[in-house]
Amino acid sequence: MHALTCRRTHHTPHRSPHPKHARTLLVSLALLATACSAVVPRADTSHTATAANAYANPRPTTPHTLHIPGAPPIELIHVPGHGTTNPFWLARTELTYAQFAPFVQATHYDGSDHPSSRPSEDFLQDWNGNPTPPPDRLDHPVCYLNVHHARAFCVWASRTTGCTVRLPTDAEWELAARGPEGRTFPWGDEWDLQRCNSGTPDDGFAGSAPVGSFPRGATPEGVLDLAGNIWEWTAEGHLRGGPWCMGPDTVKSAFVAREDTERADDKFGFRVVVEP
């Protein structure tokens, strides 16, 4: 039995809001718009109005997309900086099987690059040794990954695209999920089982769901699935957001799970941050 599939760990302290850094935001946006050839503008303003209401800082109206050859594009959402956290671009959803697959196929990666990795146990277990993921799960979040596996993808994706692709820090992940006002859930403070895949009886999914299945669970900027579906590794090696099976407490956005970073559980995956 994997510990994080059935027990809770401790919470992080609630962060207090800090003054905003509009100048830093503008500088960062200008850099990203010009420096990264693999990130191209994408016309999508569907979440602009709600985001503008939530933040006083200026923000872009055209989310960007990271293109990795052979993979569905990774849509990026701008998250305004706050306090000591600079603005950043976060993947709209968890990384999917289809988006992870080119990495495995190009590098023959088997999860053993890190000395403490244990590829024979859990790494991509549901691929059954094949270089391709299960065909019925291409749009589900890729899982059976420990934090070293997630970082290895980021290193490869950075080399492939010319951008810096990395895991979000805890501070970034939490800012994206909670906003400067410190929301309890990505969408607000009230629990709503229709807004995420959390393991509650009526969420509609027995296991993981295709990414983006809960549009009403979006943050004001439009980031999806920060609550539930699969746990997400952060740069510090923590897990955030809760899984599809543990109910509302673990999907609270302040919840931090400190798990063995070498475990590649069937509910452990990630999303990326992209820098120019």
Q: Site residues (CB under 5 A) for Ca ion?
A: 225, 229, 241
Gap between the terminal Cα atoms of the chain: 41
| Phi and psi based region of residue 203 (left: phi greater than 0; alpha: psi -120 to 50; beta: remaining) | alpha
Least distance (Å) between residue 141 CB and Ca ion: 7
Q: Which is nearer to Ca ion, 119 or 247 (CB)?
A: 247
Least distance (Å) between residue 232 CB and Ca ion: 5
Least distance (Å) between residue 243 CB and Ca ion: 8
Copy the structure tokens of residue 135.
Answer: 């065909």
Strands 268-269 and 231-233: parallel
Least distance (Å) between residue 23 CB and Ca ion: 32
Rounded Cα distance between 151 and 153, Å, is 5
Rounded Cα distance between 10 and 266, Å, is 21
Rounded Cα distance between 55 and 66, Å, is 25
Q: Which is nearer to Ca ion, 51 or 226 (CB)?
A: 226
Report yes or no: 169 and 235 within 8 Å, Cβ to Cβ. Answer: yes
Q: Which is nearer to Ca ion, 36 or 268 (CB)?
A: 268
Q: Which is nearer to Ca ion, 161 or 229 (CB)?
A: 229
Per-residue burial over 16-27, b = 16 or more CB atoms within 10 Å of its CB, e = otherwise: eeeebbeeebee
Output the CA angle 164-74-233, nearest 5 degrees.
65
Least distance (Å) between residue 27 CB and Ca ion: 30
Least distance (Å) between residue 241 CB and Ca ion: 4
Residue with the shortest CB distance to Ca ion? 241
Q: Which is nearer to Ca ion, 226 or 274 (CB)?
A: 226
Q: Which is nearer to Ca ion, 174 or 225 (CB)?
A: 225
